[in-house]
């Protein structure tokens, strides 16, 4: 079965304290008679609860695409509160990868122009969605303690399985804290020892303190998660922890001001040594049957057109691109909102197949950002079709919802991390090996070019551009540009950066997003990021 963990999600009951996020404002009581003792009474209940910890990254709520887990006083539009959609806004729309068309109360206005504030909808959604996941993970970790298992009479293999689930919940919590640290710098830290409804306020520990916490958790999980490829599809394992550590270390200079390139190489070597290989055909990476790509994919968000209906995730990435007809994208048609700046298009040469640009009726130059959907090329990278070219079999009657899984880590990124860490002076790798990895990516990207390997260059400029080409729209671009000093500065400009058609440098405060105003109001001890 394609998505085992997802089937459990849709019989999960609402957990006690359904949402207890980072502030007193979010410490809500349950509206039904379910308690933790009922939810976690059986081994099946534990697995259903784990599915919910994963599931908050896949759906906005357990009752369908328009339902929402987040409280209405914080998030007014449940359907647009999806995890990946809002992460994409903050990581991709803020860069040269994309421009946005529409005005509207729930649209991500200001993200591409870099003039967001602490009340921006997408900023709030990303922040609270991750804290909701952290709350569920904390609750699960607490309920999976040895004492609670003994109290409920759960022993033997069932108890052993639940202890593994607990480590997965710890990883998911660490992942969300990494996101929050990357996006917001210094958010509050809450663990399973922080009681829901306690009189104390969650505290900030500083970006370095949070970095140390994430690193410690992931290193401890190395020996406790299942071996690479030993877990169910869509669930995490040791290779996921190694991949996140490699990403953490690559960006250590941003996070803590100290380079950790040797450590990045160490963990890339662990992942590479676990038996992953590049999938041979790049255009098969983002199809409706990409669950078959376990050769390259390390950890994915497994979407399903029936079981995980959401207006975010990869559903957003098949409908969002402007002008792409439904017969190309495998859905009911375009929403006409995403285009790509000409500067990003220019990263690709004629032989490179990875952009998969849709140009019919589109102008390459983004003369207008808002309201003109024809300014800027579009893309068919995400297609709700199988390798055989037919529409996904598990699709709703309206052809709305996607079955394309989103890889959160894949081997190509690990190759790129390895190469960059080598160029930046890390030890434990070699220039020859790094160049070989880049050559493998170049050859796959240029299948009709007999000299494709010659395109690879072991330089930082090439690696940044190659990351853009290889990982387009996969949620990395903002972090990459910050690491290279190109996100807010005038070193690299793109259309409508800073709200100017030709692009302009902006205040360095935009290297971080602001902590949402709701949280600052609810917790008087929180300190806002500088400049906001």
What six digits make up the tokens of 454? 């010659």
Which pLDDT score is estimated for 315? 97
Distance CA 56, CA 188 (A): 20
CATH number of 225-302+412-484: 1.25.40.10
67: pLDDT strictly greater than 90: no
CB atoms under 10 Å from CB of 280, counted, come to 10
**For residue 179, how many C-alpha atoms fall within 13 Å in the half-sphere facing its CB?**
26
Confidence of residue 216 (pLDDT cuts 50, 70, 90): very high
Can you give the residue ranges of every domain in the chain? 1-222+496-527, 225-302+412-484, 310-404
Instruction: Compute and round to an integer the Cα radius of gyration of the chain.
Output: 22
What is the average per-residue pLDDT within 496-524? 96
Residue with more model confidence, 36 or 142? 142
Whole-model pTM: value is 0.94
CB atoms within 10 A of CB 338: 26
Give me the pLDDT at residue 197, please.
58
- Across residues 480-504, what is the average pLDDT? 98
Domain spanning 310-404, CATH architecture: Orthogonal Bundle (1.10)
Of 28-32, 226-230, 258-262, 479-483, minimum mean pLDDT range: 28-32
Alpha-carbon gap, residue 392 to 326, rounded angstroms: 13
H or E stretch covering 451: none
Structural element, H or E, at residue 257: none
The label of the residue with tokens 């390139």 reads 261
Task: Say how far apart CA 254 and CA 312 lie, in whole Å.
Answer: 29
Residue 271 pLDDT exceeds 60? yes
E-strand stretches of 330-400? 338-339, 357-358, 378-379
Is the pLDDT assigned to residue 482 strictly greater than 80?
A: yes
Q: Which fold has domain 1-222+496-527?
A: 1.25.40
pLDDT for res 69:
86
Give, in degrees to the nearest 5, the angle at Cα 347 between 342 and 351: 115
What is the tens place of the pLDDT at every residue in 350-398?
999 999 999 999 999 999 999 999 999 999 999 999 999 999 998 998 9
Q: What percent of the chain has pLDDT over 70?
A: 92
Q: Is there a shared CATH topology between the 1-222+496-527 domain and the 225-302+412-484 domain?
A: yes
Whether the predicted pLDDT of 21 surpasses 90: no
Q: Which residue has the higher pLDDT, 17 or 180?
A: 180
Question: 3-class SS at 413?
Answer: helix
Mean per-residue pLDDT over the chain, rounded: 92
Helix axes 156-184, 121-143, angle to 10 degrees: 150
Q: Is the pLDDT of residue 100 over 60?
A: yes
């Amino acid at each position: 079965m394609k998505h085992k963990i997802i089937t459990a999600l849709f019989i999960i009951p609402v957990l006690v304290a359904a949402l207890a996020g980072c502030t007193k404002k979010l410490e809500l009581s349950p509206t039904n008679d379910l308690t933790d003792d009922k939810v976690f009474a059986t081994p099946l209940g534990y697995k259903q609860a784990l599915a919910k910890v994963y599931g908050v990254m896949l759906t906005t709520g357990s009752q369908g695409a328009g339902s929402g887990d987040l409280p209405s006083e914080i998030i007014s539009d449940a359907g647009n509160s999806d995890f990946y959609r809002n992460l994409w806004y903050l990581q991709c729309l803020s860069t040269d990868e994309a421009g946005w068309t529409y005005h509207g109360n729930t649209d991500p206005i200001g993200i591409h122009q870099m003039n967001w504030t602490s009340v921006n909808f997408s900023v709030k959604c990303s922040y609270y969605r991750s804290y909701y996941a952290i709350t569920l993970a904390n609750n699960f970790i607490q309920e999976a303690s040895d004492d609670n298992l003994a109290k409920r009479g759960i022993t033997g293999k069932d108890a052993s399985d639940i202890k593994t689930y607990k480590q997965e919940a710890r990883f998911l919590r660490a992942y969300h804290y990494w996101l929050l640290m990357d996006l917001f710098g210094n958010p509050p830290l809450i663990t399973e020892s922080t009681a829901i409804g306690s009189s104390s306020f969650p505290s900030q520990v500083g970006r370095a303190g949070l970095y140390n916490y994430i690193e410690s958790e992931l290193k401890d999980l190395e020996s406790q998660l299942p071996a690479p490829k030993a877990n169910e599809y869509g669930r995490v394992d040791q290779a996921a922890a190694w991949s996140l550590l490699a990403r953490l270390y690559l960006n250590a200079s941003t996070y803590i001001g100290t380079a950790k390139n040797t450590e990045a190489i160490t963990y890339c070597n662990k992942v590479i040594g676990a038996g992953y290989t590049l999938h041979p055909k790049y255009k098969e990476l983002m199809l409706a049957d990409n669950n078959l790509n376990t050769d390259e994919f390390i950890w994915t968000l497994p979407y399903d057109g029936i079981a995980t209906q959401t207006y975010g995730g990869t559903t957003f990435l098949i409908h969002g691109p402007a002008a792409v007809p439904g017969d190309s994208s495998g859905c009911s048609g375009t929403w006409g909102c995403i285009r790509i700046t000409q500067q990003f298009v220019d990263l690709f040469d004629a032989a490179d197949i990875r952009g998969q640009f849709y140009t019919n009726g589109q102008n390459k130059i983004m003369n207008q950002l808002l309201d003109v959907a024809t300014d800027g090329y579009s893309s068919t990278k995400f297609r709700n079709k199988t390798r055989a070219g037919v529409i996904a079999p598990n699709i709703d009657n309206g052809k709305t919802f996607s079955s394309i899984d989103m890889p959160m880590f894949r081997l190509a990124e690990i190759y790129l991390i390895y190469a960059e860490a080598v160029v930046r002076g890390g030890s434990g790798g070699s220039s020859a090996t790094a160049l070989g990895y880049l050559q493998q990516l170049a050859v796959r990207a240029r299948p009709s070019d007999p000299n494709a390997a010659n395109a690879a260059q072991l330089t930082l400029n090439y690696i940044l551009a190659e990351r853009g080409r290889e990982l387009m729209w996969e949620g990395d671009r903002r972090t990459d540009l910050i690491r290279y000093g190109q996100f807010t500065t005038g070193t690299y400009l793109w259309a409508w950066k800073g709200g100017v058609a030709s692009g302009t440098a902006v205040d360095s405060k935009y290297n971080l997003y602001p902590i949402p105003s709701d949280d600052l109001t609810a917790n008087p001890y929180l300190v806002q990021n500088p400049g906001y």
